[in-house]
Amino acid sequence: MGGQSGSTAAGAGSRQVTTAAGAHRDAVAALRAQYAALPPRAPVRLAKSTSNLFRFRAPTGPGLDVSAFNRVLSVDPDARTADVQGMVTYEQLVDATLPHGLMPFVVPQLKTITLGGAVAGLGIESSSFRNGLPHESVREMEILTGDGQVLLAGPDTEHADLFHGFPNSYGTLGYALRLLIDLQPVRPYVRLRQVPFGSSSECADAIAAICANGELDGEPVDFIDGTVFSGDRMYLTLGDFTDSAPWVSDYTGMNVYYLSIPKRRTDYLTVRDYLWRWDTDWFWCSKALGVQQPMVRRLWPKKYLRSDVYRRIVALDRRYAVTDRISTLRGQQPAEPVIQDIEVPVDRLAEFLDFFHREVGISPVWLCPLKVRDETSWPLYPLDPSTLYVNVGFWATVTPRPGEQAGGRNRLIERKVAELGGHKSLYSTSYYSEEEFWAHYNGPTYRVLKESYDPQGRLPDLYGKCVRGS
């Protein structure tokens, strides 16, 4: 009886995979037909309902409907892999893998980040000190390129150059339609230890030691990130998997996760709640929308305590310049958004934070160490495989100084990051000159890839998209 049931289940699983593969082939054929129907040489973009980019610009050109590419095609628990379409969100992906006791190697913090977006635009989380960035756990990708072809790109394929050049290309070389990724095993809970520090240098030294050893005080560390509340008050949050928990905290309702960090030296979360601990309040950015006020929070539907909801509100504000108009009516200069993630080597972290507190003054600030685990080159975001970097994330506005040029504080940050041998993510506004940009993001290699896979320039240019806004 048991054998028969197992055979039936296996057969059902095989039929589901076959059906999913057929649906994917149909979706690819339909997308290629859409592409072919566009006017020759017309610029191309994706028509997406959600975005986690912070370049709020009106779309131009025809939009490709990619709504059919939102399925987890299969999960193989034995091989620990998932076959996933490019528009699948990490929320969908996690919900498909956790029942198998598995999760992606890196799960970016926000639920609606798509797998294809995290690979093309980079992503990071508290497992990145051991697992690198999302693209490093990709085995192969099916990519719609600028010339309308659908190519299979992997490290050992004919299109290995596209595979390695795809990360940090932001949809300017092509769009990932399907990705085969590696998964890692999980346990049901994550124990958190909140470790306080009184200076940036002490915190940086601890990050370097913990990441090198994978433990603190003889206890394992599976995850590490940090929260800087001020120049002399910061915490590293160390997480490790566990099979049981004496209690489980809930930060999906009235309680706010980041506010618990200074209060609880030890905490426990389910794996799923740990992965999305930052999404409920968009790290701490929901405060600017009033959502952390108890009265507002009680009235705010729980299902709308999500980063994508907050971002839509901010997008409407940017579109209609509501906040800027209020500032003008009050006789104030509009605030400068400083929404960035940068990486600096861990031995330059204290120098960057001291500069940041002095010149920018935003708090809190997020810290997340990372080290690429694949020594193969990722040329458009060149990180040294022998160096531990720390991502520093900051998302707020500042009041311009008298006579300060537009984007003055962002430009100051860009110069400092370059001086310290770091890099800056491109999901938000950038101010580099074209010469500076291509020096940071490997212009010669990019131009070769662009000529090979988008010779007619149907897709945007990387500098044009990320700096000029074209």
Cβ atoms 209, 195 nearer than 8 A: no
| Coil, strand or helix at 62 | coil
pLDDT in tens, the chain (470 residues): 334 444 444 555 556 667 888 999 999 999 999 998 988 878 888 876 666 666 656 555 558 899 999 999 999 999 999 999 999 999 999 999 999 999 999 999 999 999 999 999 999 999 999 999 999 999 999 999 999 999 999 999 999 999 999 999 999 999 999 999 999 999 999 999 999 999 999 999 999 999 999 999 999 999 999 999 999 999 999 999 999 999 999 999 999 999 999 999 999 999 999 999 999 999 999 999 999 999 999 999 999 999 999 999 988 877 777 777 776 777 777 899 999 999 999 999 999 999 999 999 999 999 999 999 877 779 999 999 999 999 999 999 999 999 999 899 999 999 999 999 999 999 989 999 999 999 999 999 999 999 999 999 999 999 999 998 76
Tokens 């598995």, residue? 102
Question: Residue 57's pLDDT is what?
Answer: 61
Question: Phi and psi (nearest 5°) for 63?
Answer: -110, 130
Question: Residue 49's pLDDT is what?
Answer: 64
One-character DSSP codes across 164-204: HH-TT-TTSSEEEEEEEEEEEE--SEEEEEEEEESSHHHHH
* CA end-to-end distance (rounded Å), the chain: 63
Q: Give the other-Cβ count within 10 Å of 149's Cβ.
A: 13
In the chain, which segments carry CATH 3.40.462? 189-424
Question: Residue 13's pLDDT is what?
Answer: 58
Beta-ladder partners of 411: none
Look up the pTM and report it: 0.92
| Coil, strand or helix at 24 | helix
C-alpha 20: how far from chain center: 27
C-alpha 293: how far from chain center: 27
**How far apart, in whole angstroms, are the C-alpha atoms of residue 359 and residue 404?**
13
In the chain, which segments carry CATH 3.30.465.10? 39-186+459-467
One-character DSSP codes across 136-161: GGEEEEEEEETTS-EEEE-TTSTTHH
Q: Return the CATH number of 39-186+459-467, one of 3.40.50.620, 3.30.465.10, 3.40.1390.10, 3.30.160.340.
A: 3.30.465.10
Question: Residue 14's pLDDT is what?
Answer: 59
Question: Residue 2's pLDDT is what?
Answer: 39
| Coil, strand or helix at 344 | strand
**80: which DSSP letter?**
T
Fold of the domain spanning 189-424: Vanillyl-alcohol Oxidase; Chain A, domain 3 (3.40.462)
**How far apart, in whole angstroms, are the C-alpha atoms of residue 332 and residue 277?**
36
Amino acid (1-letter code) at residue 434: E
